[in-house]
A and B are shown apart, each in its own frame.
Chain A
Amino acid sequence: MIALMSGWPKFVLLWTDASIWLLLAALVAYGVMVLRKPQWAANWGKVFRDAPALASSLVLLLCLGVTLLDSVHYRARLPAAEGLASAAPAYEARTRSLLDALLSDLVDARESTYSRPLAYVGFTKESLLIGGEVQRVAPRLQFGGAHLQNPAANWLPDIAARGGTGLLWGALAALVLGAVGVVAVALGSRQPVGTTWGRIWRRQTAVPWHVALQTLALICLVAGPAMALSGPYHLLGTDLTGNDVLYQSLKSIRTAFVIGTLATVATLPLAVVLGIVAGYFRGWADEVIQYVYTVLSSVPNVLLIAACVLMVQVFLDKNPGLFETGAERSDLKLFLLCAVLGLTGWAGLCRLLRAETLKLRELDYVQAASAFGVSHTRIMVRHIFPNVAHLMLIVTVLEFSALILYEAVLSYVGVGVDPSMNSFGGMINLARSEMSRDPVVWWSFAAAFGFMVTLVLAANLFADGVRDAFDPRAAVFRSRRAVRSRKVV
């Protein structure tokens, strides 16, 4: 854990923050490389020519944005106490992120307990003294709709007005962003803006830009009213402790993203190195590596992860000195969970890479390199790796969505992320008891459902696009089967 001293707030670099930013840097570097290599650029071009993949990449970018905002953490400085001006600065015990700061309205507007989406009264009735008489009524919310003078009459018109304004702003944003996008496309293809627009409108572009524009418009039109309404109301209601559900859902995106990316990336080093080594050297190295991954994959995945996570928990309990705050503890736990998922999940990819390397090593160009006296390491790095890298990419993208779904199950089993951390799994877990209340508390569940399906669906569609573009033999079936090693039961 590194805490940087700067300016006035104290920046806290959590383990997962560091990993996420490193991954982003790697992604940008990869992007630059792709632009330089025509072959790779052509393949990625194919991905974006697939309309669902293009649309879902926009959704994923949006989620990535939320994740990045939520990956800058700091502890605000407390105002110095009188007379102690020279003392060491004191900081809040709570670690916040930039996203928290942006959504501070939602964080601070905490009600006492459940409230329906967009409600101005609480969900549960309380005994209140009205005009000297005790009545069972639902009390007004402290924040949600607090600006309404006469809620019974004003509520619906107020929501319609705010929603309408939000929609207009959303439409405006869509127009501006769309115009910027069209200009960018025109600049990229070195054609006049008018011609480009005409071709996009008539759907004649190679990359279906009209789909991108439609997606963008849809996002803006949903986000506009949502932003307009989430300030004065709780757009998606509040949960048992009165926290805003929309805020929780946005925070959960980061957890899902971190697990999806870090856990797949964590499988790569072992899978790639061992897979290529096994396939290239064959003989005893192959036997040993095969044995190890067979052992690993013979243990049912959930059980192995459960066992590892239990051990991680014991480890954390034994070493309380590793973290200063609760947030740091739950973050370290998330990080270790990703490591566990990585260490237990590499068998599938390793098997795939081994088989591919076995085929490649017999090819003429590898034999030629070998005859020229090129060293084994160099052959593996220069000749084998680039030719199996597409498998790595496909599996990584496919695993992403599987892991997001997996997180929910693991949280339910009790070996997922820390209960103090917002996650879809945690929301669903709570929803189980909420759905058995009478009347039903459905909004937390519905919010988790909506966000999760959007994210996973986007990831799935994007993964399909990547697979179709990068699999040279269109051996769709084989790679898909090998990947399914991780099962949700």
Chain B
Amino acid sequence: MQYLTRRLVNAVLVLLGVNLLTFMLFFTVNTPDDMARLNLGGKRVTQESIEKWKAERGYDKPLYFNAQQQGTAQFTETIFWDRSVSLFALKFGRADSESAGDIGHEVGARMVVSLQMALPLFILQVFASTAFALLLVMFRHSRLDFWGVVACVLMLSISSLFYIIVGQFLFSRVLKLAPISGYAPGLDAAKFLLLPIGLSLIARLGGEARLYRAMFLEETAKDYVRTARAKGLSEQVVLYRHVLRNALIPIVTSAGSYLPYVFLGSLVFESFFGLPGLGAYVIEAISKQDFAVVRTMVFVGSLLYIATFVLIDLVYTWVDPRVRLS
């Protein structure tokens, strides 16, 4: 319990740091005046229209320190304070560009789409990679293992973009098995999601399986495995009951670091397949230079990231009793 509290306090501190970092990055390099000019566009932007744009978005205050106010208001009547408080309250405000609406609403709606793709993907990914790695380990030092590893290295040397483009071409255009891109809510989503999930699975399989194989091999070299064999247990039992369980610890850590992306979605896959998820949202914002959206997404991303690591720690205490004791 105490351990958990410490982790949570730590997480909040880190989140504060992230907030400061993103604020510095976005507001110091690129002052609100610049943002206004960029968004209003053109050269004939008057000072009044800039002031109006800033007032609409609450950017008409000093950045960090307000000398005109008294007492604590010197710090609270600033953009930094406003932005930080609203971010921590999860009120994201409106986007910089005119057409886009409320960021909070968008994030909520899009997270559902991202989850639909990423959650099944995450579960399948762990299963597929573990299964493939186990297969290789079962036939270790054989020809199957050798060529399996060769295939892994080859697969991880190919950019995920290639998998997407070839997959989309092959399955959607030539074989016409899946729609090229798009999205429909409800059960119809499945036919749009199948291809991106499958391709994403293949794209990551090489790297993951090789890593897991190494983890399994590290375990099989340990004493308890030799003891188990000496007891006369069959190779299958040794692998499934002993090695698999112990190798789960590094696998949980490794797989867990992907969890934030379960919510954030995959930048590349979503935009290639026209899925209106969070990843596609980021790409749109970048191409429109909508700093408010990118800033919010950096914050949301780190929030999820930190939450994930607290979660992983919890899972750790469950899979590895030794952690609870220390």
Contact = CB atoms under 8 A, between A and B. Distances in A.
A484 interface: yes
A306 B294 contact: yes
Most buried by B among A292, A298, A314, A431: A298
Contacts, number: 145
A417 interface: no
Contacts of B22: 299, 307
Interface string B2-41: 0000000000011101100110011001100010001000
Contacts of A413: 267-268, 282-283, 286
A300 B305 contact: yes
A314 B161 contact: no
Given A310-B291, A460-B153, A476-B214, A302 B267 contact: yes
A307 B214 CA distance: 35
Most buried by B among A415, A461, A481: A481
Interface in B257-302: 257-258, 260-261, 264, 266-268, 272, 279, 282-283, 286-287, 289, 291, 294-295, 297-298, 301-302
B167 to A, nearest CB: 11
Contact of B156 (A298, A409, A460): A460
A481 B249 CA distance: 13
A311 interface: yes
A308 B159 contact: no
B164 to A, nearest CB: 9
B291 A460 contact: no
B165 interface: yes
A440 B173 CA distance: 11
A427 B257 CA distance: 30
A314 B250 CA distance: 42
A487 interface: yes
Contact of A298 (B25, B261, B283, B306): B306
A176 interface: no
A440 B160 CA distance: 20
A291 B17 contact: yes
Contact of A415 (B13, B29, B286, B298): B286
The main secondary structure of chain A at its interface with chain B is helix
Contact of A314 (B15, B34, B257): B34
Contacts of B180: 436
A310 B272 CA distance: 22
B73 interface: no
Interface stretch (A42-50, A328-336, A376-384, A450-458): A450-458
Contacts of A314: 29-30, 34, 38
A303 B159 contact: no
A449 interface: yes
A330 B122 CA distance: 38
A480 interface: yes
B215 interface: yes
Most buried by A among B22, B218, B286: B286
Contact of B159 (A295, A318, A408, A489): A408
A412 B18 contact: no
A315 interface: yes
Interface residues of B, number: 58
Interface in B189-240: 211, 214-215, 218
B214 A428 contact: no
Task: Give the interface residue-count category, chain A.
Answer: 35 or more
Most buried by B among A302, A318, A452: A302
Contacts of A193: none
A300 B302 contact: yes
Contacts of B49: none
A395 to B, nearest CB: 16
Most buried by B among A314, A415, A424, A432: A314
A291 B254 contact: no
Contact of B294 (A310, A460, A488): A310
A304 B17 contact: no
B169 interface: yes
B154 interface: yes
A294 interface: yes
Contacts of B254: 481, 484
A414 interface: yes
B260 A409 contact: no
Given A299-B298, A409-B159, A488-B160, A480 B211 contact: yes
A298 B18 contact: yes
B157 interface: yes
A363 to B, nearest CB: 23
Contact of A453 (B157, B160, B214): B157
B253 interface: yes
Interface in A420-445: 424, 428, 431-432, 435-436, 440, 445
A291 B16 CA distance: 11
A477 B268 contact: no
A412 to B, nearest CB: 6
Given A299-B301, A303-B294, A487-B257, A481 B25 contact: no
Contact of B301 (A300, A310, A405): A300
A196 interface: no
Contact of B160 (A303, A304, A409): A409
B184 interface: no
Given A306-B282, A405-B159, A460-B156, 9 more contacts: A291-B17, A300-B261, A300-B302, A306-B294, A307-B22, A409-B267, A414-B287, A449-B162, A480-B211
22 contacts: A291-B13, A296-B21, A298-B305, A300-B261, A300-B302, A300-B305, A306-B282, A311-B26, A314-B34, A405-B160, A409-B161, A409-B268, A414-B287, A432-B165, A440-B169, A456-B159, A476-B214, A477-B214, A477-B215, A487-B261, A488-B159, A489-B264
A-B pairs with the 7 shortest C-beta distances?
A: A295-B17, A457-B157, A300-B301, A456-B157, A311-B29, A298-B302, A314-B30
